[in-house]
């Protein structure tokens, strides 16, 4: 029995989540399809453009991403938007969908009764919750891409698998390893040789474009130094490909020591971020706490999630 998304995501426990979505059809999400001799490479940019656009609308930022041939990864951070005003909330939601008549009246300052104002407040509260909801973020991303891809393919039907997969990242170590795992996907798939040549990844975007729309590396968002992270990803990539020229044996970035990550276990830990398996990543104590938190919301008779 599938567990409801609301019972796998607990913002009170962690704002960081790893999300994976796969294409359901044989046709490529992106890349070159040899049987039909058709290139879908341009679709990668569709996804990158749309996810960055949505990160500017939702109260959800992007830590890392990579767009592959038939799936993509994103590491997201959800931020609290409870301090948004009614007007700000309605104007933001209007960037995605048309507003009801009463909400338009409110923005035009034409509300005349308390009953109307009360209804507008109810709708604004609902929109505010949606704008910090990962499921709504993914809905707005995947529906947009599916419509464009189906129009291009001149067909109808599902383009994506029914559900995206999500993993809760319960501490800084989990966040760091997962971001590196995501950024290294093209290298592991032999699509690129170095992080700076890994197209449609967040690490390439950070290296080439200092004015990018990704969440910055600072105490508030991603609590590391960008230079350390880039060095770490490069080192880890060389470990994954031991026969590659320039293999580094002892030059380990300081960030590994700060987070108490041993180099012998680093690569093993990264296997946790595959699309199947665990729904939460962290220490045993953190996972137990996270499970206890969401278990209180599970209906009676619901099977235990994958990590128990």
The residue extents of the domains of the chain are: 10-80+132-293, 86-130
Tens-of-pLDDT digits for all 308 residues of the chain?
Answer: 455 555 457 777 889 999 999 887 555 666 666 767 777 788 889 999 999 999 999 999 999 999 988 889 999 999 999 899 999 999 999 999 999 999 999 999 999 899 999 999 999 999 999 999 999 999 999 999 888 888 887 777 788 777 788 899 988 889 999 999 999 888 878 787 778 888 999 988 988 888 899 999 988 899 888 888 887 888 777 775 544 432 323 443 333 444 455 655 555 655 656 655 566 766 666 667 776 776 655 554 555 444 43
Single out the residue of 211, 203, 204, 251 nearest to residue 229, CA to CA.
203
Beta strands in the chain (DSSP E): 16-22, 32-33, 38-39, 60-67, 71-78, 165-169, 280-281
End-to-end CA distance of the chain: 15
Residues 6+ apart with CB under 8 A from 280: 167, 168, 170, 286, 287, 290, 291, 305, 307
In CATH, what number does 10-80+132-293 get?
Answer: 3.30.70.1290
CA–CA gap between residue 59 and residue 79 (Å, rounded): 5
- Are the C-beta atoms of residues 207 and 195 closer than 8 Å to each other? yes
Number of other CB atoms surrounding residue 105 within 10 Å = 16
Residue showing tokens 């987070």: 259
- Tell me, what DSSP letter sits at residue 82? T
Residues 6+ apart with CB under 8 A from 246: 238
Number of other CB atoms surrounding residue 297 within 10 Å = 11
CA–CA gap between residue 212 and residue 62 (Å, rounded): 11
Facing residues of 66 across strands?
73, 201
- Tell me, what DSSP letter sits at residue 4? P
- Residue 280, phi then psi, degrees to nearest 5: -150, 145
Residues 6+ apart with CB under 8 A from 66: 72, 73, 182, 183, 185, 186, 198, 200, 201, 202
Beta strands in 220-294 (DSSP E): 280-281
> How many residues in the chain?
308
Single out the residue of 101, 98, 95, 132 nearest to residue 119, CA to CA.
101
Return the pLDDT at 212. 92
Number of H helices, E strands in the chain: 12, 7
């Amino acid at each position: 029995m599938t567990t409801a998304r609301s019972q796998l995501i607990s913002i009170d426990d962690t704002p960081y989540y790893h999300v994976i979505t796969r294409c359901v059809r044989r046709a490529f999400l992106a890349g070159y399809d040899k049987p039909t001799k058709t290139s879908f490479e341009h679709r990668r940019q569709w996804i990158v453009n749309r996810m960055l656009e949505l990160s500017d609308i939702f109260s959800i930022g992007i830590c890392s991403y990579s767009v592959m041939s038939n799936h993509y990864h994103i590491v997201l951070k959800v931020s609290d938007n409870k301090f948004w005003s009614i007007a700000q909330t309605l104007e933001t939601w209007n960037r995605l969908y048309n507003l009801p008549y009463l909400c338009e009246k409110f923005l035009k300052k034409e509300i005349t009764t308390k009953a109307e104002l009360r209804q507008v407040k109810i709708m604004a509260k609902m929109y505010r919750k949606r704008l910090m909801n990962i499921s709504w973020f993914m809905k707005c991303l995947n529906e947009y891409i599916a419509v464009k891809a189906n129009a291009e393919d001149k067909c109808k039907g599902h383009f994506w698998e029914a559900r995206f997969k999500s993993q809760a990242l319960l501490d800084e170590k989990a966040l760091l390893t997962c971001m590196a795992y995501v950024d290294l996907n093209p290298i592991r798939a032999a699509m690129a040789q170095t992080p700076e040549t890994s197209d449609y990844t967040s690490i390439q975007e950070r290296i080439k474009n200092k004015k990018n729309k990704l969440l910055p590396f600072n105490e508030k968002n991603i609590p590391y130094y960008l230079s350390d992270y880039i060095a770490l990803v490069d080192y880890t990539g060389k470990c994954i490909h031991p026969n590659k020229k320039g293999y580094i044996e002892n030059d380990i970035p300081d960030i590994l020591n700060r987070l108490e990550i041993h180099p012998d276990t680093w690569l093993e830990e990264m296997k946790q971020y595959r699309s199947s398996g665990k729904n939460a990543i962290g220490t045993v104590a953190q996972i137990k706490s996270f499970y206890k938190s969401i278990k209180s919301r599970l209906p009676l008779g619901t099977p235990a999630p994958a990590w128990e």
